[in-house]
């Protein structure tokens, strides 16, 4: 073989090697695009549509909660409760986008305690499916879970109603969502959360939402102290608000629980059916208990019972049968009603029964899930897991351990956080006694829920102390106009025949 032939052969070999290298580089460059296209091809239009709807349903629960709480409170504090619920949407949404989602659901974290910051400000959270579902974009999963994060701390504000300063509450929203909710959420649903790996069963938020907010409510109302007129009974000032708020909560809760399937599937349908059954039965049981005690039917009783039933069934709706969910509603109503009845024996002032309804209901539901979870339901979407009814008695102990651990974490961390906030200048947690008498609305916001609380000049009405302060603070429980007379539920006050402007300025 001549030298020329050898040179030509070597040149050809080099050319082939270069072309092979270029082909390999091109293949490697195309691989991510091919993988992305393969992931996007798995997206399901039906699943995306349902989770989009469920997200909107969960969103509407927070304004519904505001109406529910406002109706249960006295008029002078109604607007502030609506406000803190609405501001929770904005503050917690910012926290969730900034780092809350990453701390709760980052899939690259390897520890069992908390997620990392790989997804901070939604880095790498886009239209491709995430680890939690192959059929919806991770960005949709993120915003669906954001609605859970939004309502959870707002629930706790019901315990501190009528004496809570609003600015510290706003600061509390951001930091509590970070050091309590995101961490508990990771424990329960995170990629390597220790409770998740241990096998705890919580379909839609019994631990992070109900036990987390319920324990936080106890710490908050303990630190902030009792209302000055704590021992005096006050009826809810607006039952219509409570009715509308309950309707919005119930309506949204169907998406809260049903949407936790992350798809339009049989397990999500089962969760929705169980939720509705439990709420219906719990509402009726609560009314029956009130009627047995007082001989009267109660709209407030039905609404409170329905919410208690929904809180109770939340952790188990994707694990149990519809027949079992009826028992959730029954026991949830009985236990929560008992807790409300005897709450005054405790040393804290839970104004709107957050602990008695949400914490007690959530805890009862988690324990019942340990008993009644069945593979008949968990296998509907390819999942697994069973409770004592299928022979797995260990699940009951796991559920109780989850309740204890989440309760202690939320209670202790909330207590420490509030202590710190209370020492910071300008962030004192409680309003003064005089401000409490006048109401949180006028002292903290300068606004009121109802226009008739203002004089004709648009300024706040000046109260007449000689007429027992015609207390807007004690609120008009029953108002009827007959000529120039104003009849109150507690006192009958005859107003002089003067002009309306003079009357309001009296």
Closest C-alpha among 131, 144, 145, 142 to residue 39: 131
Mean pLDDT of 184-189: 97
Contact residues for 395 (Cβ-Cβ < 8 A; gap 6+): 199, 201, 369, 370, 373, 385, 386, 387, 388
Pull the structure tokens for residue 430: 């409680």
Q: Write the pLDDT tens digit of every residue in 69-119.
A: 999 999 999 999 999 999 999 999 999 999 999 999 999 998 999 999 999
Q: Which helix (H) or strand (E) holds 137?
A: strand 133-137
Q: What is the pLDDT of residue 346?
A: 78
Q: In what order do the strands lie in the sheet with 485-487?
A: 480-482, 485-487, 492-494
Q: What is the pLDDT of residue 17?
A: 66
Residue 501 has pLDDT above 60, yes or no: no
Q: Write the pLDDT tens digit of every residue in 387-424.
A: 999 999 999 999 999 999 999 999 999 999 999 999 99
Q: What is the pLDDT of residue 457?
A: 35
Q: What is the pLDDT of residue 506?
A: 36
Q: What is the pTM of this model?
A: 0.84
Mean pLDDT of 235-246: 96
Q: Write the pLDDT tens digit of every residue in 192-233.
A: 999 999 999 999 999 999 999 999 999 999 999 999 888 788
Q: What is the pLDDT of residue 39?
A: 60
Mean pLDDT of 174-194: 96
Q: What is the percentage of the chain residues whose pLDDT exceeds 90? A: 73
| Structural domains for the chain | 42-445 (1.10.3430.10)
Residue 38 has pLDDT above 70, yes or no: no
Residue 484 has pLDDT above 60, yes or no: no
Q: What is the pLDDT of residue 505?
A: 40
Q: What is the pLDDT of residue 231?
A: 79
Q: Write the pLDDT tens digit of every residue in 139-156.
A: 999 999 999 999 999 999
DSSP bridge partners of 164:
430
Neighbours of 385 (CB within 10 A): 19
Q: What is the pLDDT of residue 22?
A: 63
């Amino acid at each position: 073989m001549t030298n020329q032939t050898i040179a030509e052969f070597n040149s050809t070999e080099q050319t082939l090697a270069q072309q092979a290298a270029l082909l390999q580089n091109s293949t490697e460059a195309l691989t991510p695009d091919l993988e992305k296209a393969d992931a996007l091809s798995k997206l399901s239009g039906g699943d995306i549509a349902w989770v989009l709807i469920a997200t909107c349903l969960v969103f509407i629960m927070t304004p519904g909660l505001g109406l529910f709480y406002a109706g249960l409170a006295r008029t002078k504090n109604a607007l502030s409760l609506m406000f803190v619920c609405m501001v929770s949407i904005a503050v917690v949404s910012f926290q969730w986008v900034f780092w809350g989602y990453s701390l709760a659901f980052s899939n690259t974290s390897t520890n069992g305690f908390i997620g990392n910051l790989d997804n901070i400000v939604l880095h790498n959270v886009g239209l491709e499916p995430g680890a939690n579902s192959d059929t919806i974009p991770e960005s949709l999963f993120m915003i669906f879970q954001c609605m859970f994060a939004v309502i959870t701390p707002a629930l706790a504000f019901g315990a501190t109603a009528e004496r809570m300063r609003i600015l510290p509450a706003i600061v509390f929203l951001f930091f509590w969502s970070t050091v309590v909710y995101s961490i508990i959420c990771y424990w329960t649903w995170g990629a390597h959360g220790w409770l998740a790996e241990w096998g705890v069963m919580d379909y839609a938020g019994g631990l992070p939402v109900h036990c987390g907010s319920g324990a936080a409510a106890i710490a908050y109302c303990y630190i902030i102290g009792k209302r000055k007129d704590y021992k005096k009974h006050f009826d809810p000032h607006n039952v219509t608000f409570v009715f509308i708020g309950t309707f919005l909560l119930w309506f949204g809760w169907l998406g809260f629980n049903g949407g936790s399937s992350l798809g339009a599937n049989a397990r999500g349908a089962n969760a929705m059916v169980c939720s509705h059954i439990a709420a219906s039965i719990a509402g009726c049981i609560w009314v029956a208990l009130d009627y047995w005690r007082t001989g009267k039917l109660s709209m407030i009783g039905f609404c409170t019972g329905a919410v208690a039933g929904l809180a109770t069934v939340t952790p188990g709706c994707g694990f149990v049968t519809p027949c079992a969910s009826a028992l959730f509603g029954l026991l949830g109503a009985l236990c929560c009603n008992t807790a409300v009845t005897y709450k005054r024996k405790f040393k804290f002032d839970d104004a709107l029964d957050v602990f008695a309804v949400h914490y007690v209901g959530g805890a009862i539901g988690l324990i019942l899930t340990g008993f009644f979870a069945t593979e008949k339901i968990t296998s509907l979407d390819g999942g697994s897991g069973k409770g004592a009814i299928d022979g797995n008695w260990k699940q009951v102990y796991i559920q109780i351990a989850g309740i204890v651990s989440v309760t202690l974490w939320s209670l202790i961390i909330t207590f420490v956080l509030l202590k710190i906030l209370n020492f910071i200048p300008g962030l004192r947690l409680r309003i003064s006694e005089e401000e409490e008498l006048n109401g949180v609305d006028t002292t903290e916001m300068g606004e009121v829920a109802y226009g008739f609380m203002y004089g004709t000049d648009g300024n706040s009405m000046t109260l007449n102390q000689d007429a027992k302060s015609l207390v807007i603070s004690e609120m008009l429980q029953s108002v009827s106009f007959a000529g120039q007379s104003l009849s109150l539920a507690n006192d009958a006050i005859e107003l002089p025949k003067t002009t309306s402007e003079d009357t309001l300025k009296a």
